[in-house]
Amino acid sequence: MGSIELVCPAGSPAMLRAAIEAGADSVYCGLRDDTNARNFPGLNFSPAELRDSVAWAHDHGAKVLLAVNTFARAGAGDRWRASVDAAAGTGVDAVIVADLGVLAHAREAHPGLRLHLSVQAAAGSPEAIDFYAEAYGVKRVVLPRVLSVEEIAALMREITVETEAFVFGGLCVMAEGRCALSSYVTGRSPNLSGVCSPPEAVTYTEEEGALVSRLGGLALDRYAPGEPAGYPTLCKGRFDVDGGLSYLFEDPVSLNAMSLLAALRRAGVTAVKVEGRQRGKAYVARVASAFRAAIDALDQGVDPAPFERLLSDLAEGGRETAGAYRKTWR
Amino acid sequence: MTGRAAPRRSGAAAVVLMALRHPAERLLTLALRRVARRRPDVFERLGEAGDVTFIVAPSDLPVAFRLRPGGGSGDVQVIRAADETPRAARISGPLLTLLALFDGRCDADSAFFSRRIRIDGDTRAVVALHNTLEAAELTLADLLGVGPPFRDRLNAGLSGALNRLRPAEGL
The predicted-structure confidence for B41-59, as pLDDT tens digits, reads as follows: 999 999 999 999 999 999 9
Tell whether A207 is within 8 A of chain B (Cβ).
no
The amino acid that residue A309 corresponds to is R
Q: Indicate the angle between helix axes A13-21 and A47-59, nearest 10 degrees.
A: 10
Asked if residues A72 and A101 have their Cβ atoms less than 8 Å apart, the reply is yes
Tell whether A240 is within 8 A of chain B (Cβ).
no
Q: In chain B, what is the straight-line distance between the N-terminal and C-terminal CA atoms, in Å? A: 27
All domains of chain B in start order, with CATH: 5-94+110-137 (3.30.1050)
- Residue B63, helix vs strand vs coil: strand
The predicted-structure confidence for A32-70, as pLDDT tens digits, reads as follows: 999 999 999 999 999 999 999 999 999 999 999 999 999
- Residue A305, helix vs strand vs coil: helix
Closest listed residue to residue B26, CA positions, set B160, B148, B144, B127: B144
Q: Do B113 and A198 touch (CB under 8 A)?
A: no
> Which pLDDT band, with edges at 50, 70 and 90, does B166 fall under?
low
Q: CA of A264, closest CA in chain B: separation in Å?
A: 27
- Does residue B1 register a pLDDT over 50? no
d(CA B156, CA B159): 5
Asked if residues A192 and A178 have their Cβ atoms less than 8 Å apart, the reply is no
- Does residue B168 register a pLDDT over 60? no
Interface test with A, best of B44, B99, B101, B115 (most A CBs within 10 A): B115
Name the residue facing B131 among A43, A198, A315 (closest C-beta). Answer: A43
| Chain B residues touching A48 at Cβ < 8 A | none
pLDDT of residue A311: 92
Q: Where in chain A is the domain with CATH 3.20.20.70?
A: 5-171+253-325
Q: Do B123 and A199 touch (CB under 8 A)?
A: yes
pLDDT of residue A147: 92
Closest listed residue to residue B89, CA positions, set B115, B54, B43: B54
pLDDT of residue A174: 66
> Which pLDDT band, with edges at 50, 70 and 90, does B161 fall under?
confident
Q: Do A42 and B49 touch (CB under 8 A)?
A: yes
| Chain B residues touching A281 at Cβ < 8 A | 104-105, 134
- Does residue B128 register a pLDDT over 80? yes
> Which pLDDT band, with edges at 50, 70 and 90, does A329 fall under?
low
Higher pLDDT, B82 or A173: B82
State the fold for domain A5-171+253-325: TIM Barrel (3.20.20)
Residues comprising chain B, all counted:
171
Helix, strand, coil share of chain B (percent; to 5): 60, 15, 25
Query: Pairing relation of β-strands B63-68 and A244-247?
Result: unpaired
Phi and psi angles of residue A54, each rounded to the nearest 5 degrees, phi first: -60, -45
Name the residue facing A41 among B104, B109, B124 (closest C-beta). Answer: B124
Q: Do B132 and A42 touch (CB under 8 A)?
A: yes
Closest listed residue to residue B51, CA positions, set B101, B109, B124: B124
Spatial CB neighbours of A250, under 8 Å, sequence gap ≥ 6:
A171, A173, A235, A236
Q: What is the ipTM of this complex?
A: 0.90
Tell whether A206 is within 8 A of chain B (Cβ).
yes
Among chain B residues, the shortest Cα distance to A212 is held by B120
pLDDT of residue B154: 83
Q: Do B104 and A280 touch (CB under 8 A)?
A: yes
User: DSSP for B19-57?
Assistant: HTHHHHHHHHHHHHHHHHHH-HHHHHHHGGGGGS-EEEE
DSSP designation for B148: T
Tell whether A323 is within 8 A of chain B (Cβ).
no
